[in-house]
Structure 1
């Protein structure tokens, strides 16, 4: 082949694309504006892949046939704009990986619940004994895994950033969990732009493919009317009855085939209205690909959930500590507060992504006793809740936040880390934030 591919970004996505491209005969160059982790440099060195770090050289685009960029790099980045001006094609790792995948694909996106739904769907397929891989926005990059070998099925979590980098690829089954105000800083602070990104995954599908959507989600339904979708749509709902999965009293009912499945919500491994919806989406996806219902039922009853999402950490002198660090937007935190059944000491804050906290005010009034800010810039939180909650404390570390919460708490109350914000002001990522929170709780 000997065509030159330029990989922009030396993280999980970029290095994965570089490994796959090298194996498929491309002439690979990887460039990162920042430092590349030592382990990733060792990987590139072992494979003989050229790379540079801490900046892009001026002649980087010379003789370049294709650019694969990491999803965190926007189309407006100077190097991408220069490539466009020179008619050099670009795409993201998911699109590039799809060239070399032949298995059935399930692509799952949404502002909230996509990781849980992705892992739940993957769990169903594993329990059914199928040859299935897990990739995308969770775990190891799809490209890196395809360099090792293909699978019969791939369950992919897809962020809006990853969807933006797609050209032709569309999953055989697409799941849109919901649309809420998230990542608006990337979308000109316009929810319609963000919604368009999410729905474009469905618009890329063809007749004969399937789309699964949330009939209860107002923004999904609003912008669905503006989308051009050729695939067959199946809906799930906890409020409506004419859907592929519905709630009838306390029972979830799946009615896609004559071999329907009915099970009590009390038998679900994960509780809360949002997890009923996640279970419905995963169950429909499995049903559409003819997974035996015994595997679906077993998974819905036994799936263990994911770290950092409403994760019970410990009970210290009767005070529960819950790690919901993965709640990086307002809607995700809304679900966490909605599911609380004890007075809450709420730890919130971080990098604001254009948040509007007004939707949380009624829940906060009803359920929250005290607020602890965990971030460098808390003015929007203080502005939103100063007249609502009498006790608001600012802290600068997970340890300080946990110790303050413990001092404020009483037996029978709950300390909930549900930040509604990104983590990059004080932490490496939401996992680091959650892990530091858990460590601080265990040190009490």
Structure 2
């Protein structure tokens, strides 16, 4: 009998261990914290260049051009199962996207999009959560250029042409249902010391349809958008220095019926939009770079002409179409900020010219119909020169001229509003 006791004990221990192991496995499978994991590390040391050259004659329908250059890119998403993203991106080489259009004769609608980005991260979560820890560093120059070179071009159906140069980009999105809510959480740390330059130029004879030209330059950009049944809790740190952030749009036309030229330069920008959950953001922005936006529009004969320029050192937008918003915002601008817009015409009807410049800007809002609860802590310091100039010249006759310019060191707006 003495020999049987150890056997029973060993069997009991083995059975108990097996049950514990099975329970642990079942428990692990049922845990809601069972999440996917993405580990990303990207380093780009070389120059990245994308070019488009079009030479066309009498294209009756559409001329569509897409041109993009990126140093580092990470794109992904999750559906039903949460994911953690841990990413480091570093671009030290130049990133250039260049588009040149030679349009001869009569051309249909022209659509040209040119984008240059140093580091890019995009992530989405549907019916689940995404947690991001992203670090982006840019030392190289980022340049986006597009132009219409043929001065005799006739844009019979109008069109749209844009150039976007952005150093670092983080774009996040989330959404869910009442049973499976979404969440966008984490942090983004962006540093840019390279020159950021966006340029759009066009010279043509005739455009009897709506035509628009735009340029946008930004050193660091974060955007998070949540659809119903989701919430956000994000921390963002942005630092911009280097040779400058410049957006330039120049358009010269002979006869344009409805024409617009726009430019926008923002060293650091962060935008958060939410619906169906809480919005909690913590933002720290530091800008030392010169932010310059310049628009020059000229049309000898014109119907409606719009020339606008916007420049800002640091910018934050946080809006929630739900109850709760919490904003902790700190902004320091030591770089100069300049916005200049001008229009010159001979004979026409309506001219609209506007220039807006700000050292630091923040806007936050919540939904009043939801019982909005908005909490904000805001610290803004501007040490740079801020200038806005609007110039309008009509050499012959016109009907309406509306012009305005606005320059401000620090501006903050917090409110509770209807959807």
Higher strand proportion, which one?
A: 2
TM-score by length of 1: 0.23
Q: Which has the larger radius of gyration?
A: 2
- Give the structure with the larger helix fraction: 1
